[in-house]
Amino acid sequence: EAQVTQNPRYLITVTGKKLTVTCSQNMNHEYMSWYRQDPGLGLRQIYYSMNVEVTDKGDVPEGYKVSRKEKRNFPLILESPSPNQTSLYFCASSLVRGSGANVLTFGAGSRLTVL
Amino acid sequence: DAKTTQPNSMESNEEEPVHLPCNHSTISGTDYIHWYRQLPSQGPEYVIHGLTSNVNNRMASLAIAEDRKSSTLILHRATLRDAAVYYCIPPRDYKLSFGAGTTVTVRA
């Protein structure tokens, strides 16, 4: 089944304890992206990647890092989490089509709580 | 960047059609319009997309205005499972965030 898999789905951690949220897709998609969703603010893009070793900032990159060493994986790293990073996180992927017809496939989400 | 405007919420009765408007007056001539929806406690899912002409699929229809400054997502017969947040976005490039969307409530 074609899918985007995120882990963990739920995590409670403490301020300053480094964590990684993994994202993996099995559709051979070039493009991958991370979003955070907060009440009333929609989905805001954190980072995105057009292909292996190509990443760029979205609208809210502060406090996050990403890497794209393999095409299928795009982990989100919080080096020193803070309570304002408590949020629901989504990973998405798509083919890269210059016409703008690229359709995103989303993961199920990872709910992160930073105490 | 092209921006979109959607109503915050809409209500419908079950089995009735739902028309969800989206204003995208700053869209360029080559920007597709995409619609996604997010069911409660799930990630967003693709609904439909189009460029100039009206589009239909098993989930919905998309009517795009002739001047392309607006579009309407049509759910022909709303069911309780259509209760969700619906997002209209122009994915011109890959730096893309979603706004708050339209929350659709379906009454039984």
Report pLDDT for B14: 96
Report pLDDT for B99: 84
pLDDT in tens, A9-35: 999 999 999 999 999 999 999 999 999
Report pLDDT for A35: 96
Top residue of B39, B62, B86, B97 to mutate, by most chain A CBs within 10 Å, is B97
Report pLDDT for B27: 78
Say yes or no: B11 contacts chain A, CB-CB below 8 A.
no
Helix (H, G, I), strand (E, B) or coil at B73: strand
Say yes or no: A108 contacts chain B, CB-CB below 8 A.
yes
Cα A29 to Cα B10, B14, B43, B51, B64: the distances in Å are 34, 37, 18, 23, 28
Average pLDDT over residues B61-70: 92
What is the spatial distance between Cα A102 and Cα B60, in angstroms, rounded to a whole number? 18
pLDDT in tens, B2-58: 678 999 999 999 999 999 999 988 777 778 889 999 998 899 999 999 988 899 999
Beta strand ranges found along chain A (DSSP E): 4-7, 10-13, 19-25, 31-37, 43-51, 54-57, 65-66, 76-78, 87-94, 105-106, 110-114
Judge contact between A77 and A85, C-beta under 8 A: no
Judge contact between B2 and B88, C-beta under 8 A: no
Put simply, the answer to whether A45 touches B97 (Cβ < 8 Å) is yes
Residue B75: Cβ-neighbour burial (10 angstroms; 0-12, 13-18, 19+): buried
What is the spatial distance between Cα A53 and Cα B60, in angstroms, rounded to a whole number? 37
Top residue of B28, B93, B98, B103 to mutate, by most chain A CBs within 10 Å, is B98
Report pLDDT for B108: 92
Question: Mean pLDDT, consecutive 10-residue segments, chain A of 115 residues?
Answer: 95 96 96 93 92 94 97 97 97 82 91 97
Nearest-CA neighbor of B98 among B89, B86, B107? B89
Q: Measured between beta carbons, which residues in chain A are less than 8 angstroms from residue B36?
A: 104
Report pLDDT for A63: 97
Cα B29 to Cα B49, B92, B98, B99: the distances in Å are 15, 10, 20, 21
Put simply, the answer to whether A106 touches B91 (Cβ < 8 Å) is no
Say yes or no: A61 contacts chain B, CB-CB below 8 A.
no
Put simply, the answer to whether B49 touches A103 (Cβ < 8 Å) is yes
Report pLDDT for A83: 97
Average pLDDT over residues B75-100: 86
Report pLDDT for A102: 82
Q: What is the widest separation between alpha-carbon atoms in chain B? A: 40
Report pLDDT for A99: 61
Average pLDDT over residues B76-94: 88
Structure tokens at B32: 């597709």
Peptide bond into A8 cis (omega under 30): yes
What is the spatial distance between Cα B64 and Cα B54, in angstroms, rounded to a whole number? 6
